[in-house]
Chain A
Amino acid sequence: MGEQKGLTIQGNMATALGAKLCRPDVIPAYPITPSTLFPEKISEYIADGELDASMIRVESEHSAMSACIGASSIGARTCTASASQGIALMHEMLFIASGMRLPIVMAVGNRALSAPINIWADHQDTIASRDSGWLQFYAEKNQEGLDLMILAFKIAEDERVLLPAMVGIDGFVLTHTVEGVKVPAQEDVDEFLPPYEPPHGKLDPKEPMTFGSLGTPEYYQELKYDQVEAMDKSPEVIDEIFEEFEKEFGREYNRITPYKCDDAEIILLTMGSMTGTARAAVDEMREDGEKVGLAKLTVFRPFPGDLLKEIAGDAKGLAVVDRNISPGFGGAVFAESAGIFINEKKKPLMKNFIVGLGGREIFKKNFKEMYKKTKKSVEKGSVDKMVEWINMDEKVMR
């Protein structure tokens, strides 16, 4: 195995470098804050002769994803990057990419959706694409952003999966923050991820076939089922590939990673960069004797309900922390977590905390507050307020 070189780089550079190591053939992209550095780095790699690929400069994100679909249909390894309004604009094409079973990988700088216009960290953009049939990965740090790009290609292109994948890194908190990363050697990535060859045919004038054709009522439901079944069966493939990655590169990935959960009475469930802060808060609370644990969600789609049940099934309380909100209900991670426990006799009491919208900072004290509120509900045996917003500024409230 080759040496893993150390580099100190921003999150967007980490995802771009991860993509470059995968030797993509086509990168159609339209720049948008906070992921602009991704296409910039890719075009730099191409200009410097470090990457042999075609970069397509498109006129919108809708066109970017359309071009991705075309490129992937001919069997090209394809990736792009976007965020926020950009992902909203390509919404229509996201469903087509997954329905056509094209393993496109998108690096996302997770950002809030307008209005009001806001360029900062928030998971709403990818959460709003939850039902598009894409695999969704969320990174805690830049290293994960780099590794998850490689993992995303490997998982997406697996014949048992064949679905597109998003890799989310939090806007600015990761995209523009400089961190140390270890870079796998090119020859090792080449071995881990062989060139992509579509197993079920590709667009080729020499052997014409029809892609993206009409699916009448006689066929649509079966085609959808086939697509959803691939997603439902993907956890097995994801676990297998995570394990293979760990063996090859020495870094562990899980769909959900527990931290100090074994004897925990209350568990915090987090996703993305907030996890580091939550871990520090858990460490401090543990020093004070509190039986608190942390579960980090790396894979949001497919939702790892099986692992969440294992990790939190015996806990007394589960505090689900969401950096997104579905108006009229609560956070998406909470809704899904509650859903998977519905038929279980033994389940934790659950509370949902909405934090960090539009780049609002999340502090250790906020996680301590969430823990205390959940503990109070557990002691009382009931939840007064299911969804609570944390770190609100009374001074600016209307």
Chain B
Amino acid sequence: MTKVKITIGGINKDAGSSKEYKTGGWRTMKPEVDVEKCIQCLKCFDYCPDGAVKKTDDAIEFDLDYCKGCGICAKECPVKAIVMKVEEK
């Protein structure tokens, strides 16, 4: 993470910069999708609290910069295409 100098009252003069704060580092479990099983119902997309699910041509993928590994997607997937795995760091 790049360190920046603090400002009075913590004002951040770069609007819309929250994308640069990558919250994926909080994760201990990582979701993995089995593209063969995925039916693209996009329940995972609906339920993901971090907007970290993206649709691909034939399945979905995860934006690991922001996925916090909560596992809601795996819990909600009706065809059990998503599994949570301990992430090796």
Binding site for B on A (CB under 8 A): 99-102, 162, 199-201, 208-215, 218-219, 222-223, 226-227
Contacts and interface: CB of A to CB of B under 8 A. Distances in A.
B12 A219 contact: no
A219 B10 contact: yes
- The SS class assigned to the B binding surface is loop
A99 B16 contact: no
A162 B9 contact: yes
A102 B15 contact: no
B14 interface: yes
B3 interface: yes
Contact of A208 (B7, B10, B16): B16
Given A214-B21, A218-B1, A100 B10 contact: yes
Contact of A213 (B1, B3, B8, B10): B10
B10 A215 contact: yes
B89 interface: no
A226 B15 CA distance: 22
Interface of B: 1, 3, 6-18, 21
Nearest to A201: B11
Closest 3 pairs between A and B when the two form their complex, measured CB to CB:
A208-B15, A101-B9, A210-B12
Contacts, number: 50
Nearest to A212: B10
B12 to A, nearest CB: 4
A222 B15 CA distance: 21
B8 A101 contact: yes
- The SS class assigned to the A binding surface is loop
Nearest to A222: B6
B15 A209 contact: yes
A158 to B, nearest CB: 13
A161 to B, nearest CB: 11
A219 B13 CA distance: 16
A209 B12 contact: yes
A99 B10 contact: yes
A209 B13 contact: yes
Contact of A200 (B8, B16, B17, B21): B8
Contacts of A101: 8-9
B9 A210 contact: no
Contact of A201 (B6, B13, B17, B21): B13
Contacts of A227: 9
Contacts of A212: 10
Contact of B10 (A162, A199, A223): A223
A149 B2 CA distance: 43
Given A214-B21, A218-B1, A218-B3, A200 B9 contact: yes
B6 A209 contact: no
A229 to B, nearest CB: 11
Contact of A219 (B6, B14, B17, B18): B6
Nearest to A216: B21
A381 B18 CA distance: 62
A230 to B, nearest CB: 8
A2 B18 CA distance: 52
Contacts of A162: 8-9
Given A101-B8, A209-B15, A214-B21, 15 more contacts: A99-B9, A101-B9, A102-B9, A162-B9, A200-B7, A200-B9, A200-B11, A209-B13, A210-B11, A210-B13, A211-B11, A213-B12, A218-B3, A223-B10, A226-B8
Nearest to B11: A201
